[in-house]
Amino acid sequence: MASLASTVSLLEQEAGWRDLRAFLWRAEASDTLELLLLGEADPAERERAVALLEAMEAVDRDAFALLRAAIQRGEGREALAPWLDVGFPTGQHYDVLDHVIAGVLAIEEPDTPLSRLPPEMVFYQPTPARHIVDGVLRAAIAADDVVLDLGSGLGHVPILVHVLTGATARGVEREPAYVTRACEAARALQLAGVTMRVGDARDAEFTDVTVFYLFTPFIGTVLRDVMARIEHEARRRPIRVVTLGPCSRTFARMPWLHSDDPDPEASDRIVVFRSALGGR
């Protein structure tokens, strides 16, 4: 492996990472520097490496600020376009797109204690950003949709879906501290089409929703009750249900939904279901 000194020298001469769009370049270079720093004792070499890391973070911050300004002008989709070619993504891991989206959306973690999680309700874990993009594309979400994220956590899904499509995007989340942070982030980005409410998914307003999103937020009787309410809507009008995680398997067994996915029980990627009444 190269030494810290030689890596720092190479990067100091390299212009590539200074490009505002070169998030991946900077992320990979930062990982390498941080790894090499672990084995470096020389204070002067450490100082050079830390200065380089700070310079890379500063470029990221400038790039995030430009993307945030584009979102505030209503030009988020165009501005994020260079990072939206996600292919057919799988897996639960996070990648450089999550780093970009986290920097751009700037959603703060709550600093107050979280409430106790009731039985059958799943703890917070955000959907990896590439799956959100994939869901938007494969469910053909558009500006005339009303999207509801059931168990919306810190609000990444409603916020990103609205930015990418113009759809009305809502979230319902049982943990008030998450909803506070999600609403602050949506407000700072001036996104009038995004609302997040504190509540139980079993009691949320479903009547105008065209796309339901679930990243396995609950199991057992809670999932059963919510599914019964989604079924009620599906029997009246065209809806789509977009799922990620083990709950896809449960939806795949519902006769009132169909999917053209070759494996609708897959748990490591987005699965799109449509009600029998059709629609997009």
For ligand SAM, the binding residues (CB under 6 A) are 121-122, 124-127, 149, 151-153, 156-157, 172-175, 178, 200-201, 215-218, 222
Query: Using CB atoms, what's the residue nearest to ligand SAM?
Result: 151
Under 8 Å between Cβ of 226 and 204: no
Smallest distance from ligand SAM to CB 85, Å: 21
Closer residue to ligand SAM in complex, CB, 117/276: 117
Under 8 Å between Cβ of 34 and 53: yes
Smallest distance from ligand SAM to CB 202, Å: 6
Closer residue to ligand SAM in complex, CB, 210/243: 243
Closer residue to ligand SAM in complex, CB, 193/217: 217
Closer residue to ligand SAM in complex, CB, 167/201: 201
Q: What is the DSSP pairing of strand 271-275 with strand 257-258?
A: antiparallel
**Count of beta carbons in the 10 Å neighbourhood of residue 274:** 18
Distances (CA, A) of 46 to 35, 52, 54, 246, 269: 12, 10, 12, 45, 41
Longest dimension (CA), the chain: 70
Smallest distance from ligand SAM to CB 33, Å: 30
Under 8 Å between Cβ of 77 and 255: no
Residue type, 123: F
Smallest distance from ligand SAM to CB 257, Å: 19
